[in-house]
Structure 1
């Protein structure tokens, strides 16, 4: 009997290939427009009125008008540059159209005898009416019944495609009301059909804003004061408040180590050893932090204080509270220079207290050698490292804490939310979260704290230690740069030290700014006999450290630096700072830089050199920033003005998450809606939890986790 052959193995059925996305679909994803609700909430930037035809004789100069006219001449001109000139006549007058860029297909559409529908700004000229690059298409067809929306978009995503995608999504998307009727915001509008006042429903508001009727006052759409816009802003603010309050409730259910005072009283020993006494504000915030650490739920507290207010010593006292309770503390800073400065201070302060207990302060940074890093990781894992100081290296996977009880994040807005979350999850293997203390020298304006930090407790150090000298700020055009350099010599001769800050490391074609290297050479040549140092972010860590140490030791009289010296650097003998191209810096960054001087007894000054560029004048926001710097050194006032100028993104570290956290609402003008959202959120969570979850999912999607960080 012949041997039975084995059946040939059957190939696994091939998975159907995922169809490749078109460039337009990829562009939609780039904008975050994935769900139907995402498209529905992608609202127009502005509108075009294509609902009516205007006769040329009735069109006013400067207005955007839509006309229907016949082409009477069409000519490509080669001099002085290649352009297309077309003349059209609508029976009431003629208009000349100019196109600086055009394609062969345009020549066909714009041929003599063609009847066109054109839309553009009417201009007057020597030869009569003109339009520059108007939109055009063949005449005919019914006029739209609503204003035409113009949406925010990116390359590869034409307006026509985006309009179709949004119109289609609006037809499909379910928009049930998630706000119970008794809790709706007090917004009403006159209903023309019924003659009754009634609240705007979400579906009505969205459909209206995508396709408003031509008789609506355009100003109310542009400034977002229309009741339909108000309804959208109320919904958005409520989603944000619901997310924050829900995060606070979730955190209250989590467990954290209870950090009670120990018999050694390490914080008391540190205070007794310090050469200065804590200010009243420092004592108050220490008490607030200690009260949180004694609870079995995770502290989630922001410690804010102006530059030089003494946040580091408060963090040290909190760390000692954790250590004497038998737990570890981690302190993470955004730059190696700042982390090293913290490490140096904390080693000096804490080593005399920790060494007798067999504990030490460990250092973790990306630039560490392998052997040194391995030794530090072993100390952290064993628990012998009671305090771990470092950069992003602290949150890497291989860093295993024995008992992490407290995490401190300095300049928290400089970290992405994923990084902040990673540090909080270092205790998850024990089913707990560490207490979290975030520090910021960028004070949070009250409206921002109310909005974005509804789930966060805020402690404020609102007084500076005694002995800090006031800083005089001068705003000077860079045409007087030589005068400024000449005035450096007497300061340096008197033994003072100077920072000179530049925005770029090397030349950029896009931004015609001085670079640090060229400025270093220029100042060294202009100030013979003065030791001029150079510090920028592309230098090796050891080189940066050596330069900074030489400046601290007084071996360098002048330090030319990029913004790596923005935070944390403490040289009491430095009494003058010059910031070149100050108009290019953000307000909070200028304030941080200025905080590097005025740390000693000598009178200190900050000079803001600005350039007007080709325009011959400063932009409005740049002028406001420099004016604010000249008028106040109060970090809270600076923060308030910064919020007005830039909005909330920078305060929150929102850039790192890639999302604008408020798209429609304005914290400065929508205070009534914000108050309503703050009152409504806890009521909804308590009485309508399912609707609250649906509301958060609709508005925030996956971004809700970012708000918890």
Structure 2
């Protein structure tokens, strides 16, 4: 890798300042225009010292009555200011000689800061200070406060933004009829209103970003994001891939051999995927469906469509346990059809692994399942035409790209991404606008509903009694230990302690333990024993979150449920209810519950539909965290909020298509304005 180029000086900004501004992603005057304020301070009025209130920000003006450096309890500059109505103390713990000069007795100053009760009476700590002449005019607009970084003061940012507002072209790039239709103000007017709001502007509308000027900027941001994703979509359509027509030989044979019929949703998703695979450009489809909706079967049918045409298909899963489950399930389905599935994982013996790699490289084996071991260098898949990525949000962009690059030079494999974390519609429309989406919105017949119970930590004995009863009745149970993010060691300790406590409390039952620190072969052996019914209870950390399928398990106990995210709780609950027995999920929580913890448990208790849970999750967590946006390669939204501004997404999509089709120069100018040279076409 070459050296990282240091930021260059630009328009009145030296190299050192340019380096600091680059941390804020400000690389030129145009970026400053869209560096919008976080909040505003009202310096348009003065408050007499006698009426200032502790806990509230205020601006006062007065004469410095005294200034001294006090050494106790620590070195600080203590200044007393009077305005005729009263006096106030200002303190600076870090100060410079220039500040001492500015605050010499007899000088007139304006101080802005929060007033609080102190040892010397009412005081301000580290207020902003300005030297003024008697009778000097006050600002006429609210003062913007910008997002900043160390070494870049508010005064510097304000000066740079003001200069950009005076010198940069503030062209209106949106069609006038669209502005009228959506009731949005013009670009120049909106920028001035946000950088320099007038004193009569509604401060609440500005702070909450509900002001018409904010709506205008949010709409333009959403529009640019939609255009960027749409361009990625069109760029993909222009690339070539192997066309895999649906021949129906192997797919029909698999369907005929199954003891059940696919659901209507599975059949619909299969035909959408089959049509995509038959096209000569790469498919990029997201298959989302709730826990247990049958995504693996749909993926298997897609993989067979590649094999029918003499090409390879590979499936990548995020954990060893999940990858092995997929491999076993696919092998059981496909062995009767005379097909072998290669199994690639970091834990396989070197000799076995090398033999399998050689057969994949020669094209003798056409199907492979693995963890990220699939994307490591020695794996050669010369005829890869379809890559399936399960739980796609668990992989970073680079990992998904690496699998895509395994294909034949110049030809991209088709990509099918699967997720059991349903994505709310507003998110799918923005973060996944360059994907086609298939949804499995019905569960296969025979899945029994799962009862959810919330139980306080104090009633643990009752939970153990319920566990004993279920297992002595011939059922099996999971006991999932809490997520302790700060410490993997602590999480492991908790799992081991729980395992020991259950062994002691339930001597008549067979209890097993799996956790992330076990060797993969040990994990597999314990999981196999549980699947075979040789263990009654499986104590585990969250490694069993996805992919474990034991129909006889009818009880799931989740300890410290308040520490888990909603998607995780829903995934874990979905590990039971896979057979005919009535199933139960017991969520043990510790008091006192935080507001968020209470909200999460209420949602999971009241809902079994993954899409409803995902919508609530979006409310609680916000979009960035929900999709792992930091690693998704999507241009992140700085100002628009997917919940609050949902009604702007549809028109933004519509206008994006119109501009790209009929006004490409305008589309390009808009993208340059918002993304500069950083358009995120990195869509994996």
TM-score by length of 1: 0.84
Alpha-carbon contact 1:72-1:88 (below 8 Å) kept? yes
Once residues 150 and 19 of structure 2 are traced to their aligned partners in structure 1, the CA distance between those partners, rounded to angstroms, is 10
Relative to structure 1, is the Cα distance of residues 512 and 296 closer, same or farther in structure 2, using a 3 angstrom cutoff?
closer
1:452-478 deviation per Cα after TM superposition (whole angstroms, max 9, x unaligned): 333322211111112212122223343
Q: Is the 8 A contact 1:578 1:607 kept in 2?
A: yes
Question: In the alignment, does 2:341 pair up with 1:361?
Answer: yes
Partner of 1:287: 271
Counterpart selection for 1:151 from 140, 143, 146: 146
Q: What's the counterpart of residue 135 of structure 1?
A: 127
Superposed CA offset, 1:644-691 (max 9, x none): 222333454422147762221122232332222122112111211122
Q: Which moved more, 1:468-477 or 1:63-72?
A: 63-72
Distance 2:58 2:169 in 1: 37
| Cα distance, 1:532–1:160 mapped onto 2, change above 3 Å | farther
Identify the residue that residue 674 of structure 1 maps to in structure 2.
649
The alpha carbon displacement at 1:376 in A equals 2.6
Say yes or no: does 1:656 pair with 2:656.
no
Find the counterpart in structure 1 of residue 187 from structure 2: 202
Superposition pairs of residues 598-613 of structure 1, within 5 angstroms: 598-612=577-591
Task: Tell me what 1:446 maps to.
Answer: 425
Question: Are 1:567 and 1:593, in contact at CA under 8 Å, matched by a contact in 2?
Answer: yes
Partner in structure 1 of residue 110 of structure 2: 117
1:212-267 deviation per Cα after TM superposition (whole angstroms, max 9, x unaligned): 2333111111221112111111111111221232233333333222222337x111
CA separation of 1:164 and 1:392: change in aligned 2, threshold 3 A: farther
Match in the other structure for 2:443:
464
User: Match of 2:356, SS?
Assistant: helix
Change in CA separation of 1:558 and 1:667 when aligned onto 2, cut-off 3 Å: same
Query: Which residue number in structure 1 is paired with residue 370 of structure 2?
Result: 390
Instruction: Determine the C-alpha separation between the residues in 2 that align with 1:625 and 1:508.
Output: 23
- Partner in structure 2 of residue 63 of structure 1: 56
Partners of 1:376 and 1:341 in 2: how far apart?
A: 18
Structural mapping, 1:314-393, within 5 Å: 314-355=298-339, 360-393=340-373
Deviation of 1:504 after TM superposition, in Å, equals 4.1
> In the TM superposition, what is the alpha-carbon distance from 1:311 to its structure 2 partner?
0.6
Contact 2:313/2:384 (8 A) holds in 1: yes
Aligned to 2:602: 627
Tell me the equivalent position of 2:404.
Answer: 424
Distance 1:157 1:444, change over 3 A: same
Contact 1:74/1:112, CA 8 A, preserved across alignment: no
Shift of 1:698: 3.0
In structure 2, distance between residues paired with 1:594 and 1:534: 18
Describe the superposition over 1:463-497 as per-residue Cα deviations: whole angstroms up to 9, x where unpaired. 11122121222233434445434543333333433
Q: Which deviates more from structure 2 when the two are superposed, residues 57-66 or residues 168-177?
A: 168-177
Structure 1 residue 60: deviation in Å?
Answer: 4.9
1:151-550 pair list within 5 angstroms: 151-154=146-149, 158-160=153-155, 162-163=157-158, 166-167=161-162, 173-184=168-179, 186=181, 200-262=185-247, 265-355=249-339, 360-427=340-407, 429=409, 431-504=410-483, 508=487, 515-550=494-529
Deviation at 1:347, TM superposition (A): 1.1
Question: Counterpart in 2 of 1:91?
Answer: 84
Asked whether the 8 Å contact 2:7–2:19 carries over to 1, the reply is no
CA distance in 2, matches of 1:636, 1:411: 16
Note the alpha carbon deviations across 1:585-629, whole angstroms, 9 max, x for none. 2221221121112222222222333345xxx5512x332222111
How high is the TM-score relative to the length of structure 2? Answer: 0.87
CA distance in 2, matches of 1:128, 1:537: 57
Query: Deviation string for 1:360-404 (max 9, x for gaps)?
Result: 211223344443333232222211221111122223344332222
CA distance in 2 between counterparts of 1:505 and 1:672 reads 38
Give 1:48 deviation, angstroms: 1.7
Tell whether 2:561 aligns with 1:561: no
Query: Quick one: distance in 2 between partners of 1:173 and 1:624?
Result: 47
Taking a change above 3 Å as real, the CA distance of residues 29 and 519 of structure 1, as seen in their structure-2 partners, is farther
8 A contact 1:185–1:234 mirrored in 2? no
Unaligned residue ranges in structure 2 (runs of 5+): none
Distance 1:107 1:701, change over 3 A: closer
Point out the more displaced range, 231-240 or 539-548: 539-548
Shift of 1:566: 1.5
- CA deviations on 1:186-217 (whole Å, 9 max, x unpaired) are 455xxxxxxxxxx6332442343233233311
Partner of 1:695: 670
Task: Give the conservation status (yes or no) of the 8 Å contact 2:476–2:552.
Answer: yes
Count of residues in Structure 1 that have an aligned counterpart in Structure 2: 671
Tell me the CA shift for residue 551 of structure 1. Answer: 2.5
SS at match of 2:524: helix
Pairing 1:18-37 to 2, within 5 Å after superposition:
28-37=21-30
Please say if residues 505 and 536 of structure 1, whose CA atoms lie closer than 8 Å, have aligned partners that are also in contact.
no
Query: 1-side partners of 2:484 and 2:514: how far apart?
Result: 9
SS at match of 2:407: helix
Q: Could you list the runs of 5+ residues in structure 1 that have no partner in the other structure?
A: 1-15, 189-198
Alpha-carbon deviation of 1:319? 0.8
CA distance in 1, matches of 2:7, 2:218: 38
SS of structure 2 residue aligned to 1:130: strand
Kept in 2: contact 1:187–1:231 (CA 8 A): no
Q: Work out whether residues 298 and 435 of structure 1, in 8 Å CA contact, stay in contact via their aligned partners in 2.
A: yes
Does the residue aligned with 2:453 lie in a helix, a strand or coil? strand
Offset at 1:446? 2.1
| Distance in 2 separating the partners of 1:33 and 1:533 | 55
